Amino acid sequence: MKKIGILFLLVLFLTFGCGKVDVNKVKSDFEESVTKSKSYVLNGTMEIMNNEDTFVYTIEASFLKDDYYKVRLVNQTNNHEQIILKNTDGVYVVTPSLNKSFKFQSEWPSNSSQSYLLAPLLNDVKTDNETTLEEQENNYILKSKVNYPNNSELVYERIYFDKNMNLEKVEVFNSDDVVKIKVDVQSLDLKAGLDKDDFILEDLISKDCCSTNTCEDENNTCENNKEKETGVLEDAIYPLYIPSETYLTSKEVVNTDENDRVILTYSGNKNFVLVEEMASASDEFEIIPVYGEPLLLNDSIAALQANSVHWTSNNMEYYLTGNDLSEEELLSIATSLTNVDIVTSSQVEK
């Protein structure tokens, strides 16, 4: 009888113990690595696929325990840099080249999935009771549902680890199993040794102070030494998507001290207004309060509010608002503008 018991245990070991890893083990190992990290820095690239267009970013994501985040995103096509910062004062989206920032009172990033941050990825696999595991020769792959409140097209993700449980890649899919977001992790330092001084808002813009000004001293005290430039719009940028039974009813050009501003009014079934002007840097760092959420909008980080969205793309600032628009329609119009490749504009000295 004892021999039979030993034989039974041996069969169980050979059946289940030879390199087999279950989903709970992989989830547990992932959770342990995330929760043990007091600070990390992730470097990689992110691709966003929208129909025939692909937008590629360089990413540097930093985290410090107690909910400090700093995500630097650089568009590889036009070198446009934006930074999402979260510290004890709030959530900011900073555009250093414009010397401007949106400030949000937001629960970001815990209120949605984020393919380049560890805690939201971990939350996805922990909250989905149907998370599955696929084991390949060199990888473990966790598949789980995602939560993108502003993009219902995104339904699930695949998170790739090597056999030592190092994060390698994240892919986010739509319901047709097409990859819409892909993050390739080039390096991940889980013992980065960061502190709160690495998450100071003013430090994000001081290094760019002298790109358009003259620094008086080593503390980056700046003196504006350039003639003020004004942006001249040669034509408006029209959205490629417009809701049905909605038409352009007026186009107004307003000449301001800094820029030409175009106001496009659409009327009909879905009324909305689109304001466009050349992006220009502020003389002093400007913080714009926003009651909404930061949103990655193809080639830019936008400020999304209840019935409006504000963003910068291809050296243009856009403000889109419409009480008649659903959020899906609002973002469809905005997204169709970010697909415009050529901006007809020029800079002249004032």
Categorize the per-residue pLDDT at 315 as very low, low, confident or very high, splitting at 50, 70 and 90. confident
Q: With left for phi above 0 and alpha for psi between -120 and 50, is residue 29 left, alpha or beta?
A: alpha
> How many other CB atoms sit within 10 Å of the CB of residue 108?
20
Tokens linked to 159:
């998170």
Mean pLDDT of the chain: 86
Please give the span between the terminal C-alpha atoms of the chain, in angstroms, as a whole number: 98
Please state which CATH number belongs to domain 229-349. 3.30.200.100
Per-residue confidence (pLDDT) for residue 1, from 0 to 100: 52
User: So where are the chain's domains?
Assistant: 21-189, 229-349
Residue 304 vs residue 258, higher pLDDT:
304
pLDDT value at residue 2: 52
pLDDT surpassing 70 at residue 320: yes
Pairing label, strands 132-135, 139-145: antiparallel
Please calculate the CA angle 48-52-55 and round it to the nearest 5 degrees: 30
Phi, psi for 252 (deg, rounded to 5): -120, 130
b/e per residue 10-47 (b: at least 16 CB within 10 A): eeeeeeeeeeeeebeebbeebeebbeebebbbbbbbbb
Q: For every residue of the chain, which 3-state class applies, written as one string?
A: CHHHHHHHHHHHHHHHCCCCCCHHHHHHHHHHHHHHCCEEEEEEEEEEEECCEEEEEEEEEEEECCCEEEEEEEECCCCCEEEEEEECCEEEEEEHHHCEEEEECCCCCCCCCCCCCHHHHHHHHHHCCCCEEEECCCEEEEEEECCCCCCCCEEEEEEEEECCCCEEEEEEEECCCCEEEEEEEEEEECECCCCHHHHCCCHHHHCCHHHCCEECCCCCCEECCCCCEEEEECCCCCCCCCCCCEEEEEEEEEECCCEEEEEEEEEECCCEEEEEEECCCCCCCEEEEECCEEEECCCCEEEECCCEEEEEECCEEEEEECCCCCHHHHHHHHHHHHCCCCCCEEEEEC
Superfamily of domain 21-189 in CATH is Lipoprotein localisation LolA/LolB/LppX (2.50.20.10)
Greatest extent of the chain over all pairs of C-alpha atoms, in Å: 98
pLDDT tens track for 51-77 = 888 999 999 999 999 999 999 999 998
CB 16 within 8 A of CB 8: no
Q: What are phi and psi of 177, to 5 degrees?
A: 65, 30
CA–CA separation, 332 and 121 (whole Å): 26
pLDDT for residue 224: 43
pLDDT above 80 for 170? yes
- For the chain, give the number of residues: 350
pLDDT, residue 228, reads 45
Lowest average pLDDT, out of 159-173, 200-214, 231-245, 260-274, goes to 200-214
Mean pLDDT is lowest, of 82-86, 183-187, 312-316, for 312-316
Res 129 pLDDT > 70: yes
Residue 37 has pLDDT above 60, yes or no: yes
Cβ-contact 86, 68 below 8 angstroms: yes
Alpha-carbon distance of 291 to 110, in angstroms, equals: 17
Q: Looking at residue 183, what is its pLDDT?
A: 98
Instruction: Reply yes or no on whether the pLDDT at 179 is more than 70.
Output: yes
Domains 21-189 and 229-349 share a fold: no
Instruction: Tell me the C-alpha distance between 250 and 134, whole Å.
Output: 55
pLDDT of the residue at 264: 97
Q: What is the pLDDT of residues 146-155, one digit of tens each?
A: 999 999 999 9
Q: Is the separation of the CB atoms in 169 and 181 below 8 Å?
A: no
